[in-house]
Amino acid sequence: MKYYYVTHDEKYAQAYYEFEDGAEKKCPKCGKICEFSRIGVYHTRLKGKKQGDFYHAPGCYIGNSKFLEMLVKYNITGYEIKDIVVDGWFDQRDNLIDLDSSDLKEIAILGKCGWYADKDGKEIKRCDKCGIINFSTRKEVKGIKVEEDTWDGSDIFSFSNWLGVMICTERLKEACEKEKIKNIRFIPLEEFTFA
C-alpha cells in the first residue's frame, strides 16, 4: 500500500486562514500544542482567479461539490464534511472578485494513525509525553513510514503526532486522477521532506 501527503497546487487560487475559534492544549513537558478543538465554523478567504476543486488552508482542507461527490462515488473513508464561511474571493491585488464559493465545504479528517516514523521504520526523536516532533528534528526527516498496525485503515487520516495533516491511501489519489480533480498534489510519503 502506498501513502501520500496531500497538499494543493500553487497554480490555482489559494485558501487563506481568516480565523477560527478553538481551545488548544499544550504539552506540559515540551510546551507545543498537542490538541486543538475548534469551536464553531472555519473562516477562510480565497485569493486568485483560477478555480480548483480542492484547497488547503492552515488547519483546513476544502473541497467543492465535484470533489465531495467523488469521495462518495469511490467510497473514500476517514472524513466528515463540515460547513465553512468564505469571507470573500479576491484577486492578487486584494480586489473582491465575483466567483462562486457556495459549494465549498471542509473535509475534516477522522482517520487515525499512530506516530510517524522515518521511511526505514526508525523512530524519530519526539517529546516522550505528547509525541510531537520538534522543528530541528523534522529537518532530518527524509521520508515517512506508516506503521500499519497503528493505522485504522481509513483512506484519509492523520498521524497522532502530526495532527490535522492529511495523509491518504492510493485509493484517494487514483480517484482524483480518474475524476481530473484540480488543485491537489500527492507527495509519496517515502519521498517526503519538511521544507
pTM (two decimals) = 0.89
Residue 153 has pLDDT above 90, yes or no: yes
Ranges of H-type helices in the chain = 65-73, 135-138, 170-178
Q: How confident is the model at residue 136 (pLDDT cuts 50, 70, 90)?
A: low
| CB 155 within 8 Å of CB 77 | yes
Range of the domain at 40: 3-191
Q: How confident is the model at residue 154 (pLDDT cuts 50, 70, 90)?
A: very high
Give the residue, 134 or 78, on which the prediction is more confident: 78
Give helix 65-73 / helix 170-178 axis angle, nearest 10°: 120
The reported pLDDT for the residue numbered 152 is: 97
Which uninterrupted H or E stretch holds 33? strand 33-47
| CB 105 within 8 Å of CB 83 | yes
Total tally of structural domains belonging to the chain: 1
Query: CB within 8 A of 100, min separation 6: which ones?
Result: none
Distance, in Å, from the CA atom of 157 to the CA atom of 182, rounded to the nearest integer, reads 21
